[in-house]
Structure 1
């Protein structure tokens, strides 16, 4: 029997063997929606003050215990292309505002859930997108109306006003500790706030994590905390003048480099002496410039150290070049490449440089009390590494919120009050629409309930009761009624003083809606054949043991 070769046809004839093609509603759209819903299920349970922690072990075996959505999605290494879109939206929020990544992902997941229901009834994705876009524009317009009057004028140097705006962001990470942490973070931010608050640099608030103690032992230092101890015996200098050498303080810094042929002991001794004299001369020159602290970016030689001791110079070694740059910013020093005599304007100043022991860890504290100080540090104390990391994330969120409020300080009621009011008004807006859009707008409104609903669920309350009591309160005209996570039911957020920044909500709604529309617009997934070659993460043969 003659065998004949079947010619491939259709998509197969066009793409390489081994490709995959998923198309149509069932295969592409719904499958994408599923993946995104899974992702948002993960982050949802850690929304709000009662959010649960996730234990994530990343590809390097590092353990994260946190309820911070930004960290969770970063470490998960999401592979699915559609879910990646949500992760990117979350990351964009994290970079833009520093808080609210969870809101983006949870809200997007909820919108997609709504879209799935509509697709099953028979709506076309493009109709859903059109409805969602209308609803988003309406929501952003309505959000402006919910802004608390007179909240745009804020003195970013007034601790009380800053704390009020920062508190909810911190409470959602470290519930119960927010009253201790928020004033600390506010104080640190206010200390380094430049004349034009719009130029606030997040990097200027440093965190020093030191094991031992508890949250109550945290405090703020004006200046910098280095996790290194001074070399040599001088541990404390008042009114410090600082010379910074980026290249290191070592014999290699002297001019005699190259090969030297030595024939007898006498020559060796002479050579060593000249080397020694050269180093002494250089150190003496530094001391004569008035400097009493030397900071080295590289190695410090034995001999150099010996002469630094003799001329009463304190020696610090900072090996990280970023840390060295911050150090220069704190003290106003200029980093010199070569070990040489610094001119007066290249020296930095600090009120004091001293080595302290905090909880068994030796640290060097560089204090600069005078105004115009550029760096402040928050010393965090906690009993375990993972708590330290989590508090650091809360601080990071707080500092980012401060940056956001320097640009736009308007606030809206927190605890799900704004979202519920938006849901109520968008529902009314949807009822007036004609055409199929109204179904999508209705689902959009329903999706906004995800925030109060999740807050209630995470606090162990009955979400249906809470939502209905909130709707009743809002219908009665109490726009600021939000979820009371402690007693159940609702409370007026003005009395509770729970506020969210307008920009956080604004960007979260915008980014979530954009991500959702992008996911819904996909109707085919075409995966080319993966390139050959060994896989990166698989151990090579014989390496298992």
Structure 2
């Protein structure tokens, strides 16, 4: 603007400092590029041999994981189009809890195909029409690939659960899936309610304890609290429990007041009455039959002294959510202030014991007889990042269990389903007449990303694997996938590698939706960012500030 010209066109409408990108080259292809970058990151982590990423987030916390959900959450993606993919993967995480990687990688692959078509001269709207037809067809074909008889399933049968969970867990912890699946399946089956559809993921907890290895891990019916008991009583069997939400302390008087004390005598009496008051409260709890007091806040010294005298075990749970879970496990009702509890408000535990596991003091609350509603998987590992990754694998397993409680249909895993979808969709594209047939063919080709990635991550020759998969499938063996350990194509039903139908269904659907949404964008208009100087300058100036 060197000549003092009046701004014209879109510039006259928007504030200074805006950015405006339009047209195929600037907007659409730039968007596709950003999405491809993102999907390249997640794609190398796909499958059992997927590589880990070391992500350091803005709080300097390290993540070493191949779990795409975690990776994209911590990356803080800035680009608006790539954010659409992140949102799709988040939707997948919310809905199923597994398959976020497939969602992003597949959407990226679809966009890569779209880019080639655009360069050939197709209009984005034709591509969208083609992709929409394709995803409809994919859903039909997926239905046909479902293993017969898999819709009826006993969710309490260990073997059936493990066979469906194995693929999801193996993709996070390859080589340890057998040990892990047993633990996860055991924990899930124990808390599975009468009607499995109501299975709550929150009821399977994970306690991570450093030291030992995965083979030391176990499942506890009940809860594991990562702290010591307050006081000297460390073990109680078959006891009633009183839970106080506020804390067990003397200053539980309702009002604040000033007391004028004239003589030493009065001072003594004053503290005596306080003592008597506390003793009275604690005695009331002990008389109600409770042997354990659980406090949600501080435990005062004087109160603790009387708890010891009346042989009460004292636990402190500072997190509100943990306290709520504790109440769920024991069937207790949290009482607001320190007073004599009603018999109905007391919970029951089989045993509470303080144990030392690998140098960490933990309190194990077991509750086996009365309907136990929480189980804990005790994970052991040598470093924090290994434990975190194991926890993610458990998370995926539990989410898969929840999904199979709702819909237990399965499709062949290890890229068998994808190759079959690719083959059938290719055939379908030949029947179409419009320009969208190219888009459908590209959609079909995109499925090859899965076997290609699985093969590449395992160090196999991708082209050879894909062509032999195609030839097997076209001769009618629709369950042939990649056996990664052998490095060959085999029937996956023999290896019992199955993927849940719902995981695939939602992942492909969300991916296609996200890809179409990105393609629908033809202009990017960014207003001038609000606020002062740029972030990195501010960061240099006020290094102590947090990002809010």
Q: TM-score range by the shorter chain?
A: over 0.9
CA distance in 2, matches of 1:120, 1:388: 46
Corresponding residue of 1:470: 469
Shift of 1:195: 0.6
Aligned in 2, Cα 1:371/1:431: closer, same or farther, shift over 3 Å?
farther
The alpha carbon displacement at 1:232 in A equals 0.7
User: 1:114, 1:535 → 2: CA distance?
Assistant: 36
Shift of 1:333: 0.4
Q: Distance in 1 between matches of 2:294 and 2:147?
A: 50
Deviation of 1:371 (Å): 5.2
- Cα deviation, 1:165-216, whole Å, max 9, x if unaligned, reads 0000000000000010001100100000011111110000000000000000
Q: Deviations over 1:256-303 (max 9, x none)?
A: 742111122111111000000000010001000000000000100000
Q: Report the counterpart of residue 374 of structure 1 in structure 2.
A: 373
Correspondence 1:196 to 2:169: no
Give, in whole Å, the separation in 1 of the partners of 2:66 and 2:540: 35
Alignment of 1:177-326 (within 5 A): 177-254=176-253, 257-326=256-325
| Counterparts of 2:377 and 2:336, CA distance in 1 | 31
- Given that 1:254 and 1:278 are in contact with CA atoms closer than 8 Å, whether structure 2 keeps it comes out as no
Partner of 2:65: 66
The equivalent of 1:165 in structure 2 is 164
Please report how far the alpha carbon of residue 312 of structure 1 lies from its aligned counterpart in structure 2 after TM superposition. 0.2
Cα distance in 2 between the residues matched to 1:371 and 1:332 = 9
Matches within 5 A, 1:100-139: 100-139=99-138
Change (3 A) 1:130 1:111: same
What residue in structure 2 maps to residue 488 of structure 1?
487
SS in 2 for 1:208: strand
In the alignment, structure 1 segments of 5+ residues that lack a partner are none
| Contact 1:243–1:295 (CA under 8 A) maintained in structure 2 | yes
Alpha-carbon distance between aligned partners in 2 of 1:112 and 1:122, rounded to the nearest angstrom: 15
For the 8 Å contact 1:127–1:436, the answer to whether it is kept is yes
Matches within 5 A, 1:24-35: 24-35=23-34
> What are the within-5 Å matches in structure 2 for residues 4-153 of structure 1?
5-153=4-152
Q: Please give the secondary structure, in 2, of the residue aligned with 1:539.
A: helix
Distance (Å, rounded) in 2 between the aligned partners of 1:370 and 1:189: 17
Q: Distance in 2 between matches of 1:544 and 1:287?
A: 50
Match of 2:327? 328
Separation in 2 of the partners of 1:348 and 1:228?
20
Deviations 1:293-327 (A, max 9, x none): 00000100000000000000000000000000000
Query: Structure 2 regions of 5+ residues with no counterpart?
Result: none
Give the stretch that moved more between structures: 526-535 or 354-363: 526-535
Task: State the shift of 1:541 in Å.
Answer: 2.9
- Between the aligned partners of 1:534 and 1:379, the Cα distance in structure 2 is 48
Change in CA separation of 1:512 and 1:344 when aligned onto 2, cut-off 3 Å: same
Cα distance in structure 1, aligned partners of 2:40 and 2:96: 23
Q: Would the aligned equivalents of 1:56 and 1:63 in 2 still touch at CA under 8 Å?
A: yes
Task: State the match for 1:515 in structure 2.
Answer: 514
Aligned residues: 543
**Residues of 1 paired with 2:9 and 2:506: CA distance?**
43
- Describe how 1:355-374 pairs up with structure 2 within 5 A: 355-370=354-369, 372-374=371-373
Q: Deviation of residue 533 (structure 1)?
A: 2.8
Give the equivalent residue in structure 2 for 1:461.
460
Contact in 2 for aligned 1:420/1:452 (Cα 8 Å): yes
SS at 1:194's partner residue? coil
Q: Hey, what's the Cα distance between the residues in 1 that align with 2:435 and 2:131?
A: 11
Q: Is the 8 A contact 2:483 2:492 kept in 1?
A: no
Deviations 1:505-529 (A, max 9, x none): 0001100000000000000000111
Aligned to 1:533: 532
Per the alignment, in what secondary structure is the counterpart of residue 38 of structure 1? helix
The alignment's TM-score, normalised by the length of structure 1, stands at: 0.98
2:342 corresponds in structure 1 to: 343
Provide the C-alpha distance between the structure 2 equivalents of 1:4 and 1:256, rounded to a whole number of angstroms. 74
Q: How far has the Cα of 1:378 moved from its partner?
A: 0.3
Segment drifting more, 362-371 vs 513-522: 362-371
- Change in CA separation of 1:242 and 1:54 when aligned onto 2, cut-off 3 Å: same
Q: Is the 8 A contact 2:469 2:480 kept in 1?
A: yes
CA distance in 2, matches of 1:316, 1:309: 12
Question: 1:77-104 CA distances to partner (integer Å, 9 max, x unpaired)?
Answer: 0000000000000111011001100000
Moved more, 246-255 or 437-446: 246-255
Post-superposition Cα deviations, 1:22-66, rounded to whole Å, max 9, x if no partner, equal 000000000000000000000000000000000000000000000
Distance in 2 between residues matched to 1:5 and 1:91, nearest whole Å: 48
State whether residues 220 and 376 of structure 2, in contact with CA within 8 Å, keep that contact through their aligned partners in structure 1. Answer: yes
Query: Structure 2 CA distance, aligned partners of 1:12 and 1:283?
Result: 74
CA displacement at 1:476 relative to structure 2:
1.2
Contact kept, 8 Å, 1:207 with 1:378, in 2: the verdict is: yes
